[in-house]
Each structure stands twice: as C-alpha cells, then as structure tokens.
Amino acid sequence: MNTKICSKCKKELPATLEFFYKCKSCKGNLDTRCKKCKNELSKKWHKKNPIKSKDGQDKWRKTYGTPFYNRKNHLKKAYDMTLEDFDILYKKQNGKCKVCNINYPKSKLCVDHDHISNEIRGLLCQACNKGLGCFKDNIDLLEKAILYLDQ
C-alpha cells in the first residue's frame, strides 16, 4: 500500500481518500496535508477571516440583507423607484422588453432612463439596454447605424 507523509504533522499515512483530500493542483491528486491537519487549518482560517468565511457571509446577509434587499436599494437610489413601481411597470409591459418585445423574468430586465432628465422610459432586456447605451441615446447615431445596415 502506498503511503504519504503529511507536510504539516509529518505523519506517514496511507495515501487514500480516507486520510487525504483530493487536490487538483497537488502532485498525485492528494493534498499535501492530511485531513486532520487540513481541518484544523481551515478552522483557524475561518476564525481569523470571519468576513470571508461562509459563516461571516451568512451573518452579513442577515444583518445587511439579500440580493432582493440590494435590488430594492438600487432601484430607490438610482431611479427613486420602489419594487412596487418596478412590478407595475413590468405588468404594464406584460413582462416584455420595450424594444425587442421578448418576454423576460423580472430579474433580467433593466430600468431604462433618460440620462439627462433621469425620466424612466421603461424596462429593457440587457442586450437592448446595452445597445442604447453604446449609442449614447443619440438618435443621429442610431439613424446612421440603420442606414449602414440598410446598405
């Protein structure tokens, strides 16, 4: 039976998945540290880095919110719009992008607004929203693009 020496505790153990974790970047596909040492190091790291650890992320979400909460804040901050306002607009457009007229779930539609007056024009899919953004909402540029495509 093959054996392997743990780089941390220096114990010689059977080179099996019972004693070592798999590791894609390690020589021989087994971690250089035994499971016991690896778990101890992991516990120390999580204590030292609570924000980066899963437990820390869960605590952060409970304190500051979820993506739903963040979307709510984003709509309010960027467009002075509530989730209810967004839902009304979504229903008014029948869940479709105002440009390409394709159905999308709420999470895939963007709020389109006039960058000068900040007035909301409607909900657009990401592709249409980016397209208008690339043309800087400039009708002359869009007309030139249409003429170009018409050639």
Domain extents in the chain = 3-62, 67-150
Two tokens at 134? 């690339």
Query: Which pLDDT score is estimated for 21?
Result: 92
CA separation for the pair 126, 104 (Å, rounded): 10
pLDDT of residue 59: 72
Cα atoms in the 13 Å half-sphere on the side-chain side of 5? 2
Can you tell me the distance from the alpha carbon of 146 to that of 151, in angstroms, rounded to the nearest whole number? 9
Domain 67-150 belongs in CATH node 3.40.1800.10: yes
pLDDT score of 98: 97
Show the low-confidence residues of the chain (pLDDT under 50): none
pLDDT reported for residue 70 = 77
With contact defined as beta carbons under 8 Å apart, do 42 and 71 qualify? no
Residue 82 tokens, joined: 């509530």
